[in-house]
Amino acid sequence: MIDLEILRSDPDRVRAEIQKRHLDGPDVGEVLKRDKARRTIITKLDEFRVKLKAASDVVASAKGDARDQAVTQAKKLSADAKALEPDVKRAEAAFMELAAKLPTFAHESVPVGASADDNEVQATKGEKPTFDFAPKPHYEIAEKLGILDAKRAARVSGSRFHYAKGDLVLLQWALHRFVMDELTQRDFVPMLTPTLVNAGAMFGAGMFPVDTQEVYSVPADKLYLIGTSEITLVNYHAGETLDIKERPIMYSGFTTNYRREAGAAGKDTRGMIRGHQFDKLEMFVFASQETSWDILDKVLLPTAEGILEKLRLHFRRVVLATGDLPYKMQKTYDVEVWMPAEQRYVEVGSISNAGDFQARRLGIKYINNEGEKRFAHTLNGTAAAFSRLPAAIIENFQEADGRVRIPEVLQSHFGNKEYLEASK
């Protein structure tokens, strides 16, 4: 949610943000109209309640006819207030239907543009691998080694699922151990979270009402499968006032995640890049407004990039333009690894600052140095996606004979083996 005072006092700023992000709506004038109707009926209900309290006080102290009259008045006021409550709920729902779709305000450093074509490449790191042969895509190598099986998975679950076998599983767990060590050394607290949540948790994280098409649901239980542990981690401190004035609260959440990939028809249909189910280790931070931007650039971004540097992968850092920026984020960096077989970069992680957008929805606050209660800032970043990173490793570390060298930093977590072995 954005600050409603900004919506009321400077609606043109909200309109400009919607235009800058190339969104279809909602109509700001209609949002203001519904806000006014909501506040009017809430004021009316509050007036009934004030009168009811006064009448109740008379009932408690009066005697005789005066008390009887006060009782009659109190009953009428109570009935009037109760009759108004459904109207209040309808007015609140009508307002939230639109207000919840308003985007937060992009940071001033975010490039303005209509789409991903306008994203800004900010840095390129590491050396591209060179080959004296035509490199193969990761799925061909993994299938030949017998460590990736999408055909059998399709019989069981449909497209965009796969079985990982043998050394592919061990590679994922070696990555997990390596990345988790990197995070714990930086004071991230490890978390294992639920993967099923209710609609309120989805709304609080900013997934609803905008990204509903990407979410798998379990209608019988009114639950939803998460697509990232960001959802469960941000909800962990809902309604709390946090002690983050001096130090942020930092978590690393490991979850299996599910995404429908509704908008990705025909994209990366083979292999491990864009599956419906994947494991991920996510960084999540609750920070003060005064420190969040330093944490984005000096903690989350260097941590994510440092992991790729230690794996000796060539990658680039991209700042998302306003037209590609998620509506709940004020700024997002994408980290993209080079895939030599396809001669393109593939996103392996995003690092974002949501500002106070999620905290407003969830009522997460802190007390600043002046003793004022303020909404916290929430930040998240991919530490490792255990489908895309193995795909990048297989493709970048392949050799002419079909073998795949294991990155040096992972070998100690892999029984000191140097190469992936074919599945027996």
Active-site residue set? 259, 274, 347, 350, 388
Burial string for 322-343 (b: 16+ CB within 10 Å, else e) reads bbbbbbbbbbbbbbbbbbbbee
- Please report how the helices 64-99 and 28-61 are oriented relative to each other, as an axis angle in degrees rounded to 10: 160
Angle at 37 between CA 32 and CA 39, to 5 degrees: 90
- Please report how the helices 301-310 and 166-184 are oriented relative to each other, as an axis angle in degrees rounded to 10: 140
End-to-end CA distance of the chain: 53
Give the E-state strand segments of 19-81 in sequence order. none
Structure tokens of 192? 């294992």
Q: Going edge to edge, which strands form the sheet with 315-319? A: 120-125, 315-319, 331-339, 344-353, 377-385, 277-287, 249-258, 189-192
Integer Cα distance of 424 and 234 in angstroms = 42
